Amino acid sequence: MERERKTSGKAVHRAAPLETAYASPAHQRVAEAKNRIRGLARRTFSKPVLSELGGFAGLFALDTAKFPEPVLVASADGVGSKLQLAAELGLHASVAADLVNHCANDLAVQGATPLFFLDHIAAARLDAEVVGQIASGFVDACRANGMALLGGETAEMPLLFRPEGHYELAGFAVGVVSRPQMVTGATIEEGDVLLALPSTGLHTEGYALAQRLLLEEAGYQHGQYVTALGDKVGAALMRPHRSYLTPIRKLLPYARGFAHITGGGLSANLPRILPKGLGAEVDLSSWEVPALFAHLAELGTLGRAEMFATFNMGVGLVAVLRPDGVKAARLVLSRLNERCFVLGRVVRSTQRTVLYR
């Protein structure tokens, strides 16, 4: 897909040769940035990719023999306030990988196989070195999730992004699932078991509040070790948003639904997969809330409702399983060295809601 530099309503296509003597410094920056992306993106290409970066659109051949009755599944997301921290710490590849993993998870919970990823990179002034690190993060995560980096856009927007050095990332992913294999949660029943996989940290949610509490109100520094966190502040905040693609695939034979715990925490994301007339009952004694979340609650004097509606609280994925499939599912996860715990159960409820016990 074409990459463009946009300023004042005009677009300079990423595909265009910009090595002329009259090329402006801005054009030269874009040219260097796009060349870094192009070289890296080829590492993600496989046989279904029919195009190079720089065309009007990316081309991808769908294998209908492998996916009969194909249904395309699409997801779009951003990284949010975590980008500010990444820019300050120079950890650009990390947030790019976060974005790919987030999108891959959103596809996988529907039963889909990720196919390709498109990115959008925007900044007041492009730094080719930073763009190269971002592209490297995209590429490594795309390869890990079996996706092609099929295209994207790079934009300089000096009127929108200030100060220089900060940028915005957005990602768009497409996957495919055969219609009979779609996972929608429609077959979830009362008594089904909620099996949780831990998160690695905040993932990509709740950063505005977390940074305000840790960096402004508590006055911590990025490199400061805080006993209550068991880590340095920057390291605790920048833990990656992991991919759950492999465990999801292994759990498909046993699962009736999956919830990727993102913005809004358990309170907002579990109800998204529940049929009408059902709710989720969560046993608060079933896991130990990680130190980061406990310290945030302490610093902000935040109650349970606000914490569970803002942060993932140490839960990154929930699989809804038939009761007779729990033992087999846990065995599968143990073979993958994946930790898990029974979070609770599906219960009868007049509203799709989460009850904390």
- Largest CA-CA distance found in the chain, in angstroms, rounded: 71
DSSP-derived secondary structure letter, 289? P
Domain segments of the chain as ranges: 4-181, 193-356
Question: What H or E segment, with its residue span, contains residue 148?
Answer: strand 148-156
Q: What are the pLDDT digits (tens) for 224-273?
A: 999 999 999 999 999 999 999 999 999 999 999 999 999 999 999 999 99
Q: What is the pTM of this model?
A: 0.90
Q: Which residue has the higher pLDDT, 14 or 138?
A: 138
C-beta separation of 185 from 340 below 8 A: no
DSSP-derived secondary structure letter, 220? -
Q: What are the pLDDT digits (tens) for 186-214?
A: 999 999 999 999 999 999 999 999 999 99
Task: Share the mean pLDDT of the chain.
Answer: 91
CATH architecture of 4-181: 2-Layer Sandwich (3.30)
Alpha-carbon gap, residue 109 to 113, rounded angstroms = 10
C-beta separation of 357 from 283 below 8 A: yes
DSSP codes joined into one string, 229-286: TTEEHHHHHT------HHHHHHHTTTEEEEEE--TTHHHHHGGGGPPTTEEEEE-TTS
Q: Is the CATH code 3.30.70.3040 the one for domain 193-356?
A: no
C-beta separation of 5 from 57 below 8 A: no
